[in-house]
Chains A and B, each alone.
Chain A
Amino acid sequence: MKLKLATAALSALMAAGPALADLVIPDLSYRTGPYAAGGIPFSDGYNDYFTLLNERDGGIGGVPIRMVECETGYNTEKGVECYESTKGEGALVYQPLSTGITYQLIPKVTADDIPLHTMGYGRTSAKNGDVFSHTFNYPANYWDGASGAVNYLLEENGGDLSGKKIALVYHNSAYGKEPIRTLEELSKKHGFELVALPVDHPGQEQKSQWLQIRRDRPDYVLMWGWGVMNQVAVQEAANIRFPMENFIGIWWSGSENDVLPAGEAANGYKALTFHNVGTDFPVFDDLQTHVVDAGKAAGAGDQVGTVLYNRGLYAAVLAAEAIKKAQEISGNAEITPAEMRTGMEALEMTEAKMAELGLPNFGPTFSVSCENHGGDALVGVTQWDAANKTWTLISDFKQTDGEVIGALIDEDSAAYAAENNIEGRC
């Protein structure tokens, strides 16, 4: 009897403990609540790429990948709970898809020696790897977005923005305020006038802001929005007949969700991006065969190729390539989170590598180092075609203003280092 009990207890313990032979990737998703429309496609893309690697390649380096999904509802407290409940499983990297959760996790992941990847969101100055040892925000951050927008407008105006007026419609939150400092610096440098127009959460009522835009007649409008704020802004812009081609959103304001409700009126609207759009890449054939048709897709398979699906897929690609790099450096197929961090810090994404993965010209080329956790800061622009319901990449991934952004990152990260007694490590 005692032997039976001991065997049962041991079996239970083994079942409850982490399976060491897996590469564990938590997915802090939000498939419910007000922001689910953005969370679902990202999570589907993130999961489906790892499923593809399992089904087609038998995992990475012969080790299968195990996804651990945890629903955050885009709620910071729940996000932290998800982190705490999954980190013990041997989690290799976290991608929380929320700036609020990111801020809470930065000190935690540093203490737990687990890397955190915040792709195009989170704390911008985390690009400084000298201070933020475990946080990575490659290939681009919010300040790159602000600079990318201004660079694009410079190109549109023959390199001269002096005398132009640019309005920034932003979500009145820490996220929405992110680009203001950068844009202020860039306005001094290039001589344009910046008008900042905050929109209160959630952003369903924006009449005041768009009446002001109609009165002030800015040449361009930039938008830092999320959720319902994006759809209302696009509709209000159409209502006041603001030229859509002069309206540019950050990448979190540039998905199908943001333009479809306005119908034809949204035609020509632009958005910044750090990855390509659509399904015209060889990897999507493999996804169809090994994942969607095989009934192994994370969702209903109806999100494949949407902007946010592609972003989730790209995040998974970058995580998988970092795992390969970590395996190469450590010589272990079953890597630890610390080895994953080393792999992320040595990551190099070349066009040849992207083509080999079936994703030619899908994302910018960049490399990561101990000092630079943000990559090479290349940003592109997409445009919405309402008739065909498609986004198109209309510019190359181009260099942003490292001089202005670098100084701001140094200033912000130095303040964080001083507050937290962090010494440079690179």
Chain B
Amino acid sequence: MPDQLIFAMEVFLNGLMAGVLYALVALGFVLIYKASGIFNYAQGVMALFAAMTLVGIMNGQVPFAHLINATFGTHAHKFGWNIPAFLAILMTMAVMVLLAWAVQRFVMRHLVGQEPIILFMATIGLAYFLEGVADLMWGSEIKKLDVGLPQGINLWIDETTFNIFGYGFFIDNLDLVATVIAALLVTALVAFSQYTKQGRAMRAVADDHQAALSVGISLNFIWIMVWSVAGFVALVAGIMWGTKSGVQFSLSLIALKALPVLMLGGFTSIPGAIVGGLIIGVGEKLFEFAIGPLVGGATENWFAYVLALIFLVFRPQGLFGEKIIERV
């Protein structure tokens, strides 16, 4: 088999893996949009906030230490204990539920029935507010995140492909773990959305706030639930991306990688987020591999959007989005 074809296969597989990581971020957007019709600009910052909170709890860091020390002249930075990853994840999830409650109580509750653009603007404000709070709460330094996930080349795949093709493929163990987690997450979320009472209520709220209220669905409860689930997805995305690069403020920029996935997969489809992620991941990696060297490289960021736009031309609602029907 020609070398270039073998290399392309390796790039294809890595594109699939990268796509799963993009999809993990996109899932959070889909959940909130599906439930409330809000494009949550703060989803990337939620991933950052969740990852910072997780590291802070694991390391026994005193929240708001700089503020406390500056105000009271103390020197408190650490509690002096470390918390195991699993327990810290549960505690972080509790913080994300608290955040969901606060968002509902202080922002969304006051905006029921408002235009989508108003709700979108509110999430922009929320993003900047959360970023500031995260900075104040946990500090700006880059933190190592280690929850025990494996990283580095998968030796089995390396050896197996070497025996077949004479060239060992590189697949990152972390990407494999992300794939398994994403598969479980999507299955659980689809089942929840389609087969549970709360899931159906969530979809009813998405269709019409007022109508949902009139049949006795509690908007407050649904929104807290949805923002909590989105917070959980943000935590998972934050763990995966934070393990790769350390937990730092650039983590919030991973949202940029989710936008073309959403455009392609549709804003309302959970499987769409996954399929969209895979198409974007594979498309951008193969384009960079085949065409990148001819045009100076660094094509991935813009090509992802070009690919999404091409799909948009033919399916404005995205591959799996609900068809837009306007009746006069």
Contact = CB atoms under 8 A, between A and B. Distances in A.
B172 A239 contact: yes
5 contacts: A32-B135, A36-B140, A208-B292, A227-B248, A228-B253
Interface residues of A, number: 42
Interface in B248-262: 248-254, 257
B144 A263 contact: yes
Contact of B246 (A208, A261, A265): A261
A227 B300 contact: no
Nearest to B285: A208
A239 B301 contact: no
Contact of A261 (B135, B245, B249): B245
A355 to B, nearest CB: 32
A172 B295 CA distance: 13
Nearest to A171: B298
B250 A34 contact: yes
A239 B289 contact: no
A23 B150 CA distance: 54
Given A36-B249, A198-B296, A240-B170, A215 B7 contact: yes
Given A204-B254, A238-B152, A300-B69, A231 B246 contact: yes
B226 interface: no
B245 A33 contact: no
Nearest to A196: B297
A235 B244 contact: yes
B18 interface: yes
A80 B296 CA distance: 32
A200 B248 contact: no
A204 B253 contact: yes
B315 interface: no
B203 interface: no
A31 interface: yes
Q: B14, B170, B172, B296 — which one has the most chain A CB atoms within 10 A of its CB?
A: B170
A65 interface: no
B326 interface: no
Contact of B144 (A36, A37, A261): A261
B248 A231 contact: yes
Contacts of B145: 261
B139 to A, nearest CB: 9
A214 B297 contact: no
Interface in B1-41: 7, 10-11, 14, 17-18
Nearest to B66: A300
Interface string A257-277: 100110101000000000000
B153 interface: yes
Interface string A29-52: 001111111001000000000000
A35 B285 CA distance: 27
Interface in A197-247: 197-202, 204-205, 207-209, 211-212, 214-215, 227-228, 231-232, 235, 238-241
A200 B151 contact: no
A235 B245 contact: yes
Given A211-B7, A240-B170, 15 more contacts: A34-B253, A36-B135, A37-B248, A202-B253, A204-B254, A207-B14, A207-B285, A208-B288, A209-B297, A211-B14, A228-B245, A231-B245, A235-B245, A239-B153, A300-B69
B141 A204 contact: no
Interface string B289-321: 100100011101100000000000000000000
B300 A208 contact: yes
B142 A257 contact: yes
B292 to A, nearest CB: 7
A285 B30 CA distance: 55
Contacts of B14: 207-208, 211
B209 interface: no
B241 interface: yes
Interface in B29-82: 66, 69, 73, 77
A241 B153 contact: yes
B140 A205 contact: no
A205 B17 CA distance: 12
Given A34-B253, A197-B297, A207-B14, A261 B142 contact: yes
Given A34-B249, A37-B141, A260-B142, A205 B300 contact: yes
B172 A227 contact: no
Nearest to B152: A239
B322 interface: no
B140 A40 contact: yes
Given A231-B246, A240-B170, A198 B77 contact: no
B207 interface: no
A208 B69 CA distance: 44
A235 B18 contact: no
Contacts of A205: 18, 257, 300
A157 B73 CA distance: 55
B208 interface: no
A310 B316 CA distance: 54
Interface in A26-77: 31-37, 40
B170 A211 contact: yes
Contacts of A36: 135, 140, 249
Contacts of B244: 204, 232, 235
Nearest to B288: A208
Contacts of A211: 7, 10-11, 14, 170, 289
A141 B235 CA distance: 41
Q: A40, A205, A227 — which one has the most chain B CB atoms within 10 A of its CB?
A: A205
A31 B140 contact: yes
Given A198-B298, A214-B170, A300-B66, A204 B250 contact: yes
Contacts of A209: 297
Contacts of B288: 208
B199 to A, nearest CB: 32
- The 9 residue pairs across chains A and B that have the minimum distance between CB atoms: A261-B246, A36-B140, A198-B298, A228-B250, A34-B249, A172-B298, A200-B301, A208-B288, A198-B297
